[in-house]
Structure 1
Amino acid sequence: MSLIVSIMLFFGGMKSTEAHSGLIQKGKASFYSKRFHGKKTTSGERYQNNKLTAAHLSLPMNTLVEVTNLANNQSVVVRINDRGPHGKGRIIDLAYGAAKALGMVSSGIANVAIRVVGFNRKITEPITADLFPLNTRFEPRLAPVDNI
């Protein structure tokens, strides 16, 4: 039965732009020049240097992707909001803020692994692997509600 389902999915006309949670791709990442700040992306949003966004050739817009710099193991979650990269041999083009979080600004290009972690949501706060360092104690920002 599972063979039949697999064959149906394979030949069922699955679009190449459909993202599958956990999809992993390895390759080179670059980042946008600061001169693109304020220009429109493919999604219609304005590019902002400090946001955690990225360009990918085939992943759907608003796909959340974890990008890991393979040289230093730093990770960041970005949202796809543009098409690209247009540089040869690159798999993702990051906003400057994401490149800074990955520690790749000085090198300009980094070997990365990208993994799909979610869909159709916007990131409201920066999400990085070191958001809660292991040497600090977690303090909740909201107090519990006693009377509901």
Structure 2
Amino acid sequence: MKTAAKAKKKRKRRVVSSGSCSASYYWQGQHTASGERFDPDALTAAHRTLPMGTKVRVTNKNNGRSVTVRVNDRGPFVGGRCLDLSKAAMAKLGGIGSGVIPVRYEVLARD
């Protein structure tokens, strides 16, 4: 019998928009724009305009690794970048050593 967690994990979400840009990461402890405490070990991201709670699939163009993050903050405020990822998300993408990586992002539909 499948558990609810496994069934949820395997569910595919519909992509509502996508694009490419550069992504960076941050790790400092602070409060996010959503009001929650920033957790560098959570799979979260900052985006300038997407609604809080939006799920975004991010793929590192250099190696093909992907991760799904939840938007919980605003930023980045550096030209050419569309996402600031948590340290954990950047680690899953294999970009910690680079600091800034080219990514493809897909905004996922809310269920």
TM range (shorter): 0.7 to 0.9
> What letter is aligned with 1:26?
S
Distance 1:31 1:74 in 2: 16
Q: Which residue in 2 is equivalent to 1:81?
A: 72
Residues 125-144 of structure 1 mapped to structure 2, 5 A cutoff:
none
Q: Which residue in 1 is equivalent to 2:18?
A: 24
2:106 aligned with 1:118: no
Residues 93-112 of structure 1 mapped to structure 2, 5 A cutoff:
93-112=84-103
One of 38, 42, 52 as aligned partner of 1:47: 38
One of 17, 28, 47 as aligned partner of 1:56: 47
- Whether contact under 8 Å (1:65, 1:118) holds in the other structure is no
What is the RMSD of the two structures over their aligned residues, measured on CA atoms? 1.5
Q: Any idea what SS the aligned residue of 2:16 has?
A: coil
Distance 1:117 1:41 in 2: 21
Where does structure 1 lack aligned partners over 5 or more consecutive residues? 1-19, 121-148
> What letter is aligned with 2:72?
N
Deviation (angstroms), 1:86: 1.0
Q: How many residues align?
A: 98
Q: Any idea what SS the aligned residue of 1:73 has?
A: coil
| Rg larger for | 1
Provide TM-score, normalisation by structure 1: 0.63
Which portions of structure 1, spanning 4 or more consecutive aligned residues, are displaced by more than 4 angstroms?
none
Distance 2:54 2:25 in 1: 18
Instruction: Tell me which protein shows more strand as a share of its residues.
Output: 2
Percent identity reads 43
Provide TM-score, normalisation by structure 2: 0.83
